[in-house]
Protein backbone atom coordinates (compact mmCIF):
# COMPACT_ATOMS: atom_id res chain seq x y z
CA UNK A 1 0.00 0.00 0.00
CA UNK A 2 2.94 2.36 0.64
CA UNK A 3 4.37 2.00 -2.89
CA UNK A 4 1.31 3.45 -4.69
CA UNK A 5 1.23 6.43 -2.31
CA UNK A 6 4.97 7.04 -2.78
CA UNK A 7 4.69 6.61 -6.54
CA UNK A 8 1.75 9.05 -6.70
CA UNK A 9 3.64 11.58 -4.56
CA UNK A 10 6.70 11.44 -6.82
CA UNK A 11 4.51 11.89 -9.91
CA UNK A 12 2.81 14.90 -8.33
CA UNK A 13 6.15 16.54 -7.49
CA UNK A 14 7.44 15.92 -11.00
CA UNK A 15 4.31 17.36 -12.58
CA UNK A 16 4.53 20.46 -10.37
CA UNK A 17 8.20 20.94 -11.30
CA UNK A 18 7.53 20.44 -15.02
CA UNK A 19 4.57 22.79 -14.85
CA UNK A 20 6.68 25.46 -13.15
CA UNK A 21 9.38 25.07 -15.80
CA UNK A 22 6.93 25.54 -18.67
CA UNK A 23 5.23 28.60 -17.22
CA UNK A 24 7.69 31.14 -18.59
CA UNK A 25 6.27 34.64 -18.32
CA UNK A 26 7.89 36.98 -20.86
CA UNK A 27 8.80 40.51 -19.82
CA UNK A 28 6.32 42.52 -21.90
CA UNK A 29 6.47 45.91 -20.15
CA UNK A 30 9.25 48.38 -19.53
CA UNK A 31 9.38 48.11 -15.75
CA UNK A 32 11.89 50.25 -13.82
CA UNK A 33 11.62 47.79 -10.90
CA UNK A 34 12.44 44.73 -12.99
CA UNK A 35 15.80 42.95 -12.66
CA UNK A 36 17.00 42.40 -16.26
CA UNK A 37 19.82 40.06 -15.20
CA UNK A 38 17.32 37.74 -13.54
CA UNK A 39 14.87 38.20 -16.44
CA UNK A 40 17.62 37.24 -18.89
CA UNK A 41 18.38 34.03 -16.98
CA UNK A 42 14.73 33.02 -17.36
CA UNK A 43 14.68 34.08 -21.03
CA UNK A 44 17.81 32.02 -21.70
CA UNK A 45 16.26 28.96 -20.06
CA UNK A 46 13.17 29.39 -22.22
CA UNK A 47 15.26 29.93 -25.36
CA UNK A 48 17.32 26.82 -24.67
CA UNK A 49 14.19 24.78 -24.11
CA UNK A 50 12.46 26.06 -27.25
CA UNK A 51 15.45 26.52 -29.58
CA UNK A 52 14.69 30.22 -30.05
CA UNK A 53 16.98 33.22 -30.07
CA UNK A 54 16.40 36.16 -27.72
CA UNK A 55 15.58 39.76 -28.53
CA UNK A 56 16.27 42.32 -25.83
CA UNK A 57 13.93 45.22 -26.57
CA UNK A 58 15.45 48.24 -24.80
CA UNK A 59 13.26 51.28 -24.25
CA UNK A 60 10.77 52.79 -21.87
CA UNK A 61 7.14 53.67 -21.32
CA UNK A 62 8.10 57.29 -22.11
CA UNK A 63 9.23 56.30 -25.64
CA UNK A 64 6.62 56.87 -28.38
CA UNK A 65 8.59 54.76 -30.88
CA UNK A 66 8.61 51.89 -28.37
CA UNK A 67 4.81 51.98 -28.39
CA UNK A 68 4.74 52.31 -32.18
CA UNK A 69 6.91 49.24 -32.65
CA UNK A 70 4.63 47.22 -30.35
CA UNK A 71 1.56 48.38 -32.30
CA UNK A 72 3.31 47.66 -35.58
CA UNK A 73 4.15 44.09 -34.54
CA UNK A 74 0.63 43.44 -33.23
CA UNK A 75 -0.85 44.82 -36.46
CA UNK A 76 1.17 42.56 -38.77
CA UNK A 77 0.15 38.95 -38.25
CA UNK A 78 2.98 37.42 -40.29
CA UNK A 79 5.62 39.46 -38.44
CA UNK A 80 4.01 38.83 -35.04
CA UNK A 81 3.81 35.08 -35.63
CA UNK A 82 7.35 34.82 -37.01
CA UNK A 83 8.73 36.88 -34.14
CA UNK A 84 7.07 34.80 -31.43
CA UNK A 85 7.83 31.49 -33.17
CA UNK A 86 11.55 32.27 -33.40
CA UNK A 87 12.42 34.58 -30.53
CA UNK A 88 11.98 35.01 -26.82
CA UNK A 89 11.32 38.73 -26.43
CA UNK A 90 12.41 40.52 -23.28
CA UNK A 91 11.85 44.20 -22.61
CA UNK A 92 14.62 46.05 -20.78
CA UNK A 93 13.69 49.35 -19.16
CA UNK A 94 15.70 52.49 -19.80
CA UNK A 95 14.23 55.52 -18.04
CA UNK A 96 15.02 58.29 -15.59
CA UNK A 97 13.85 55.96 -12.77
CA UNK A 98 16.21 53.17 -13.82
CA UNK A 99 18.69 53.28 -16.68
CA UNK A 100 19.86 49.70 -16.01
CA UNK A 101 23.41 50.90 -16.66
CA UNK A 102 25.10 47.85 -15.12
CA UNK A 103 23.09 45.43 -17.24
CA UNK A 104 23.35 47.45 -20.45
CA UNK A 105 27.10 48.04 -20.01
CA UNK A 106 27.64 44.47 -21.29
CA UNK A 107 26.27 45.49 -24.70
CA UNK A 108 27.25 48.02 -27.37
CA UNK A 109 26.29 51.64 -26.79
CA UNK A 110 22.74 52.58 -27.82
CA UNK A 111 22.10 55.77 -29.79
CA UNK A 112 18.29 55.72 -29.71
CA UNK A 113 15.22 53.85 -28.51
CA UNK A 114 13.78 51.34 -28.99
CA UNK A 115 16.88 49.28 -29.62
CA UNK A 116 17.15 45.53 -30.16
CA UNK A 117 19.95 43.24 -29.10
CA UNK A 118 19.70 39.78 -30.65
CA UNK A 119 21.18 37.01 -28.52
CA UNK A 120 21.52 33.31 -29.16
CA UNK A 121 19.79 30.84 -26.86
CA UNK A 122 22.76 30.95 -24.48
CA UNK A 123 22.72 34.74 -24.19
CA UNK A 124 25.65 35.44 -26.53
CA UNK A 125 25.28 38.72 -28.43
CA UNK A 126 24.70 38.13 -32.14
CA UNK A 127 23.61 41.59 -33.32
CA UNK A 128 22.86 45.14 -32.20
CA UNK A 129 19.94 46.63 -34.18
CA UNK A 130 19.15 50.32 -34.45
CA UNK A 131 15.40 50.09 -35.01
CA UNK A 132 15.46 53.48 -36.73
CA UNK A 133 16.83 51.61 -39.76
CA UNK A 134 13.56 49.64 -39.85
CA UNK A 135 11.39 52.77 -39.90
CA UNK A 136 9.42 54.24 -42.76
CA UNK A 137 7.79 57.61 -42.15
CA UNK A 138 6.01 57.51 -38.79
CA UNK A 139 5.90 53.69 -38.72
CA UNK A 140 8.02 50.67 -39.53
CA UNK A 141 8.59 49.06 -42.92
CA UNK A 142 7.17 45.51 -43.00
CA UNK A 143 9.73 44.24 -45.56
CA UNK A 144 12.72 45.63 -43.65
CA UNK A 145 11.37 44.34 -40.36
CA UNK A 146 10.70 40.85 -41.71
CA UNK A 147 14.12 40.75 -43.37
CA UNK A 148 15.76 41.63 -40.03
CA UNK A 149 13.83 38.84 -38.28
CA UNK A 150 14.68 36.24 -40.95
CA UNK A 151 18.39 37.06 -40.82
CA UNK A 152 18.57 36.69 -37.02
CA UNK A 153 16.13 33.80 -36.51
CA UNK A 154 17.79 30.59 -35.30
CA UNK A 155 19.10 28.40 -38.07
CA UNK A 156 17.81 24.83 -37.99
Query: Residue 26: what pLDDT?
Result: 86
For the segment 64-109, what is each residue's pLDDT rounded down to a tens digit? 999 999 999 999 999 999 999 999 999 999 999 999 999 999 999 9
| pLDDT band at 153; cut points 50, 70, 90 | very high
- pTM summary value: 0.84
Query: Cα separation of 142 and 63, whole Å?
Result: 21
Sorted by sequence, the CB contacts under 8 Å of residue 73 that are 6+ apart come out as 79, 80, 83
pLDDT at site 12: 52
CA dihedral 102, 107, 111, 117 (to 10 degrees): -120
Q: What is the pLDDT of residues 116-142, one digit of tens each?
A: 999 999 999 999 999 999 999 999 999
CA 72 to chain centre: 16
- Which residues make beta-bridge pairs with 93? 59
Q: Is the pLDDT of residue 18 over 80?
A: no
Average pLDDT, the chain: 90
Q: How would residue 23 be classed by pLDDT, with cut points 50, 70 and 90?
A: confident
% of the chain residues with pLDDT over 90: 81
Question: Which domains, and CATH codes, for the chain?
Answer: 25-152 (3.40.30.10)
Amino acid sequence: MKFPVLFFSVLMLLSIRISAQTDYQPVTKFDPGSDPAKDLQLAEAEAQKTGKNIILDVGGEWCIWCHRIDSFIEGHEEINNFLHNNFVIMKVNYSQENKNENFLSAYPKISGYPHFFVLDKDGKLLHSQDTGKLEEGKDYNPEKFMSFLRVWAPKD
